[in-house]
Amino acid sequence: MRGYLIAAHLSVEVGHRVVLEALELEPLVALDLRLGEGSGAAVVMPILDAALALLGEMATFAEAGVAGARDAAGVSADDGPPPPPGP
């Protein structure tokens, strides 16, 4: 279940930190909120929406044809196909 939980913010309430530590969750923001009606979640939802949109819709440099772009392995879209593995 913990894999589906998102800690939106860190409340200034002492019990909130205790619960987050017990669940081994890191809050996304710390805004010193203590209102108790989910205001931290309301603040964080647009941030999560934007992050998911970036992950799902944004092209990599190579996919966008940006010259000189290299992926994590150092391969450039300009390099053509990688050589076959050596002996």
**pTM, rounded to two decimals:** 0.58
- Is the pLDDT confidence value at 26 over 90? yes
Classified as helix, coil or strand, 17 is helix
* Closest to 29 measured CA to CA, from 2, 15, 48, 14: 48
1-21: per-residue pLDDT in tens?
A: 778 899 998 888 888 889 999
Q: List CB contacts of 72: < 8 A, sequence separation 6 or more.
A: none
The percentage of the chain sitting over the pLDDT mark of 70, rounded to a whole number, equals 78
Catalytic residues: 37
Asked if 67 contacts 57 with a C-beta cutoff of 8 angstroms, the reply is no
Q: Around 50, how many Cα atoms within 13 Å sit in the side-chain half-sphere?
A: 5
- Is the pLDDT confidence value at 66 over 80? no
State the alpha helices, DSSP H only, in the chain: 14-23, 39-57, 61-64
* Domain residue spans of the chain: 2-67
